[in-house]
């Protein structure tokens, strides 16, 4: 399943066992003037399913977890 979300939309995931984040990676090449970054959030449910959500941003700091 592939789902694109926009403003004012939400997704509810129930029975979550764990949530983890991969490292932030660059989608751009070094010489490109505008960088693009992504990070994958992996959600494991109690029934053994794995859900991957890709987060994209032009600002690398936006993808870092906040305290």
User: Which tens digit of pLDDT belongs to each residue from 15-58?
Assistant: 999 999 999 999 877 777 788 999 999 999 999 999 999 988 89
Residue numbers of the domain that contains 50? 16-60
Residue 10 lies in a domain: no
Give how many domains the chain has, as a whole number: 1
Q: Which two tokens stand for residue 32?
A: 């490109």
Can you tell me the distance from the alpha carbon of 66 to that of 21, in angstroms, rounded to the nearest whole number?
13
Residue 3 lies in a domain: no
Residue 5 lies in a domain: no
Answer yes or no: are the C-beta atoms of 54 and 42 closer than 8 Å.
Answer: no
Can you tell me the distance from the alpha carbon of 41 to that of 28, in angstroms, rounded to the nearest whole number?
20
What does the pLDDT read at residue 32?
76
Ramachandran category for residue 48: left, alpha or beta (phi over 0 → left; psi -120 to 50 → alpha): left
Residue 67 lies in a domain: no
């Amino acid at each position: 399943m592939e789902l694109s979300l926009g403003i004012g939309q939400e997704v509810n995931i129930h029975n979550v066992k764990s949530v983890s984040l991969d490292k932030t990676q660059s989608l751009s090449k070094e010489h490109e003037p505008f960088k693009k970054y992504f990070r994958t959030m992996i959600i494991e449910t109690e029934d053994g399913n794995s859900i991957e959500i890709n987060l994209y941003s032009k600002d690398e700091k936006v993808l870092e977890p906040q305290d």
